[in-house]
Amino acid sequence: MTGIEKLFGSQRAITILVISVVFAIVFPAYFSFMASNSDDLGGASSGAKGKWQVDFIQDNITSDETMNLGDGEQGDYFFELDSGDMMIGFVEITVSCNDNDDTGPGTNDDVDVSTDFSGVEGTPDDESGSGSCNGDTVSFTIGITPEWDGSSYIADGVSKNDIEAQWTDGGNGTGEWLTSVVMNVNTELIPVNHPFADEDEDVTVSWRVAVYSLEITAVAEEL
Please work out the total of residues on this chain that contact Ca ion, with binding judged by CB under 5 A: 8
Instruction: Specify the residue, 99 or 169, whose C-beta has the smaller distance to Ca ion.
Output: 99
Least Å distance, CB 178 to Ca ion, is 24
* C-alpha span between 123 and 136 (Å, rounded): 25
Largest CA distance in the chain: 124
What residues between 3 and 62 interact with Ca ion by CB under 5 A? none
In this structure, what is the dihedral angle of CA atoms 26, 27, 33, 35, given to the nearest 10 degrees? Answer: -170
Of 120, 198, 210, 211, the residue at the interface with Ca ion (CB under 5 A) is 198
CB of 135 to Ca ion, least distance (A): 14
Question: Which region among 17-25, 57-65, 91-99, 152-160 touches Ca ion (by CB under 5 A)?
Answer: 91-99
Q: What is the DSSP string of 59-82?
A: EEEEEEEEEEEETT-EEEEEEEE-
How many Cα atoms sit within 13 Å of 190 on the Cβ side? Answer: 10
> Could you tell me which residues are beta bridge partners of residue 134?
98
* Cβ 101 to Ca ion shortest distance, Å: 4
**Nearer Cβ to Ca ion, position 169 or 201?**
201
Output 176 or 202, the one with its CB closest to Ca ion.
202
Binders of Ca ion among residues 94 to 113 (CB under 5 A) are: 99, 101-102, 107, 109
Find the shortest distance in angstroms from Cβ 97 to Ca ion.
Answer: 8
What x/- string results for residues 199 through 218 when contact with Ca ion is judged by CB under 5 A? --x-----------------
| 119-138 footprint of Ca ion as x/- string (CB under 5 A) | --------------------
- Closest by Cα among 74, 114, 75, 111 to 93: 114
To the nearest whole angstrom, how small is the minimum distance from the Cβ of residue 119 to Ca ion?
A: 31
Are 182 and 73 spatial neighbours (Cβ–Cβ below 8 Å)? yes
**Among candidate residues 68, 62, 64, 80, the one with its CA nearest the CA of residue 181:** 68
Q: How far is the CB of 184 from Ca ion (least distance, A)?
A: 9
* CB 141, min distance to Ca ion, A: 27
Burial zone of 67 (CB within 10 Å; 0-12 exposed, 13-18 middle, 19+ buried): middle
Residues from 136 through 195 that contact Ca ion (CB under 5 A): 186
Strands 110-120 and 128-132: antiparallel
Q: Could you list the residues that contact Ca ion (CB under 5 A)?
A: 99, 101-102, 107, 109, 186, 198, 201
